[in-house]
Chains A and B, each alone.
Chain A
Amino acid sequence: MNYKHIGQENSKKGETNTNSEPSLTRRNFLRNSSTASVGAGLIVTSKTALGQEGPDKGNKVRCGIIGYGDEGKALRESSMFLKDLVCFPAVSDIWPRNLRAGKGQIAASKQGGGEDGSICNDYAEPEEMIKKEKLDCIIVATPDFVHHKYSIMGMEAGLDVYSEKLMSNSVDFARQMVKSQQKTGKLLQIGHQRRSNPRYRHVKNEIIEKRKLLGWITHMTAQWNRSRGGSVPREIPQGKDALTDEILQKYGYNGGAKGMFEFRNWRMYKKFGGGIISDLGAHQIDIFNWLLDEYPVSIFAQGGTDYYTGEFLNDLLTSEVKEAMAKTKSKKRKAKLEAELKLVEQVMDGYEHADNVMAFFEYQTKRDKWGTKGGAGDTLKTRAYYQVLTTSSSQKFYEKFMGEYGTMSISELTEYNQIYREAHAEPWEELANGETPVVEKNLAKEEIYHKFWEQPAPWRSIDKAKNDKWLSGKSLTDARVSKGLDPWEIPSHTQFDERPHTPHLRNFFETVRDRGSQDDLNCPAIEGFRTTVTCMKIHDALANGGKLEFKPEEFEV
């Protein structure tokens, strides 16, 4: 699977394009052949421990979870919709608080092993879980810097692996993961879950590729703006929830209060994570790559640790504890706060990674992809801007694709799913027919949904006549002010009631169950690697301060 930029010779990009729904993927083939096998009385044997116990013997994938923090928990909860497909007979976490939660929640929700799903064995050592348990696969939901360690450990032990994104905070570690996958032949899916989201898949397959409703996508923007409340460091646990220095240091952290702070706030540190570009940006930058089926040719970026400096955070954390101490009337809480103050006073760390990033990418695409008459030559540009902030949640997070015929906003947030037709584009009315229309028009919902100022909803609601006049272009203040775009929606049949991660997990577990290959995965390791390369280059661009080129070989393992 060699990647080359568009226009480079011997491009084999087509080999990795497994995202087109109508095509006969290996997964579809396996499903069909599996059904045929049952009908023919053939016995499908298990390659590992698949379904050796439990109520759905022979069907359930046995998965161990490594890392039961927020993300491990989210993946377990997302799998509540997949109870017939997967069980979690074991969980591992180095932190007892997470481990207690994992064991308790899995057992209580009957997602574990055993006849009634109530058995979940807990392991402080991930390695011990891999060795002792009869598993088919593992989920790796640890801090970024050990994704490779446990993914490779799992694959070498014969297990398929679902690793959280960003694949790693090191391109070299990510490359090692791909090589291990190739060597072992095990599955390695990376957790860029939008690739499995029915809404995103509809947009890619139907709206952009098949119908070409946006035409040539000339520009893409995306943002993830997170509030200060969601960006300040987490508390330093005390008492039974504190890790010993021995454990902290064994797993790469400092000891004492500083080590516990690092452990709880690993996303701040270069050693442990990829920063906000990994935590937030990776999802959306991956969508840039995925929707275009391309990787950028250049980047420049600005950003830095402007706000969450060590001085600021130390002052913020200590003052918050002092404020709570002054306010509380609870003797028990006051004692806890006094102990907490002694801990936070020792921490002087700020964000090592940038706390705000604004990055510009340049992509190149083939003219044939769009069928456009614009521009010149066979190679066309798509320029992209990405923004991630941690001091404001203004407009939250979404991706926006602007083409010559239309503009589309999409997000995991269901309120951001609009598509707008340019005045000169062909009519879309016929595409809104049938049970599964390509686009929808629901005028009753316009006031709610169309928030991106393509149509001025507040004016319309106040003075319809004035708004109609504005839309018709009769009250323009400038002769070249454009007419508002025609508002449509991404159709409601692409909505789903499951969690955002559920379809991506289903894709992985079904591929494990059906004994599929990397090509059946919606985000195989090589794709996750290429997004890692794209994202980690942002850090280089921030340090460099200028425009950096991506070389095609950077996207190869």
Chain B
Amino acid sequence: MKNPFIVASALIIPILVATAQDTDKSKWKDVGIDFPKPMFVGTPVAAKLPNLDKSKKPRLVLKAPEGAENLALDMEVTSSDPEPIIGDLEMICDGDKDGADGSYTELGPGKQWVQVDLEEEANLYGIVVWHFHKNARAYIDVIAQISNDPEFKTGVTNVFNNDHDNSFGKGAGKDLAWIETNHGRIFDVGSKKARYIRLLSNGNTANEMNHYVEIEVYGTR
């Protein structure tokens, strides 16, 4: 029989090493997000929110350990609105981030969520979301959560929250709302483990509906 300490060490050490690499952010590299082309058409609607980010400086870089990739691609997507008004849920993780009409999914009005199942727990570093970005608008009460509980009742971590007045009852968030563009929005996760990602929103400044063009989840398995 092999020394049980050696066997245990053989199992533990790679994990410790992996964790060390994961947490040393100085070694993280740009995952290289592929941004779609900009597309603004139509009569613009003024977006007036008290917590609107007016910096107009898009963030283009998400850093993660070597080997991190978009784990959400082609994964199953579920939603509080299982029958979208426009499009299909599977379009949310199909890699098509275009602003065109055939590329987005429209959920019902008011408070809605979509959830991505990565099929197994993974190391997560960042989430990128593109809501509808063909017209200038801001989505309201956006929250991004991760958990290993598919019902998001236990072990839930908010990684982004601009629900400043706690409309969802998930706690008031201090993150800023933003005007949608082809650059989407990057949410830092840090380095956390989870299987499920849930994004919430409560309509937008152009109408009461909720839209998703694409969600990417960068991590390693």
A residues with CB within 8 A of B: 70, 74, 77, 80, 97, 100-101, 104-105, 108-109, 226-227, 229-230, 234-235, 237, 241, 324, 327-333, 336, 393, 412-414, 497, 499-501
Contacts and interface: CB of A to CB of B under 8 A. Distances in A.
Given A108-B109, A333-B95, A101 B85 contact: yes
B49 to A, nearest CB: 13
A70 B38 contact: no
A241 B101 CA distance: 11
B73 A108 contact: no
Residue among A77, A104, A235 with most chain B CB within 10 A: A104
B90 A70 contact: no
Contacts of B209: 105, 108
B108 A97 contact: no
A77 B206 contact: yes
Contacts of B206: 77
Contact of A237 (B37, B74, B85, B102): B102
A328 B98 CA distance: 13
A101 B106 contact: yes
Contact of B42 (A70, A100, A413): A70
Contact of A234 (B37, B38, B42, B100): B100
Nearest to B74: A330
Interface of B: 34, 37-46, 48, 70, 73-74, 85-86, 90, 94-96, 99-103, 106, 108-109, 206-209
Contacts of B43: 74, 412, 499-501
A230 B41 contact: yes
Given A74-B42, A97-B86, A100-B86, A329 B73 contact: yes
A105 B85 contact: yes
A12 B37 CA distance: 52
Given A109-B208, A499-B45, 11 more contacts: A70-B41, A70-B42, A104-B86, A104-B108, A105-B106, A108-B109, A229-B40, A234-B101, A235-B101, A241-B102, A497-B46
B85 A108 contact: yes
B39 A229 contact: yes
Contact of A332 (B38, B46, B85, B94): B94
A140 to B, nearest CB: 18
Nearest to A110: B109
A229 B101 contact: no
Contacts of B38: 227, 229
Contacts of B46: 414, 497
Contacts of A104: 85-86, 106, 108
In the A-B complex, the 5 residue pairs with the closest CB atoms:
A104-B85, A230-B41, A330-B95, A229-B39, A333-B94
Nearest to A69: B101
Contacts of B101: 234-235
Given A230-B39, A501-B43, A100 B85 contact: yes
A499 B135 CA distance: 14
Nearest to B97: A324
B91 to A, nearest CB: 9
Contacts of B90: 332
Given A100-B85, A329-B73, A109 B42 contact: no
The listed residue with most B CB atoms (<10 A of its CB), out of A108, A227, A413, A500, is A108
A118 to B, nearest CB: 11
A309 to B, nearest CB: 20
A406 B103 CA distance: 47
A77 B204 CA distance: 12
B145 to A, nearest CB: 24
Contacts of A234: 100-101
A74 B135 CA distance: 12
A100 B106 CA distance: 11
A37 B23 CA distance: 76
A237 B73 CA distance: 22
A235 B70 CA distance: 26
A412 B44 CA distance: 8
B94 A227 contact: no
B98 to A, nearest CB: 8
A327 B208 contact: no
8 contacts: A108-B109, A229-B39, A235-B103, A237-B102, A333-B96, A336-B94, A497-B48, A501-B43
A374 to B, nearest CB: 37
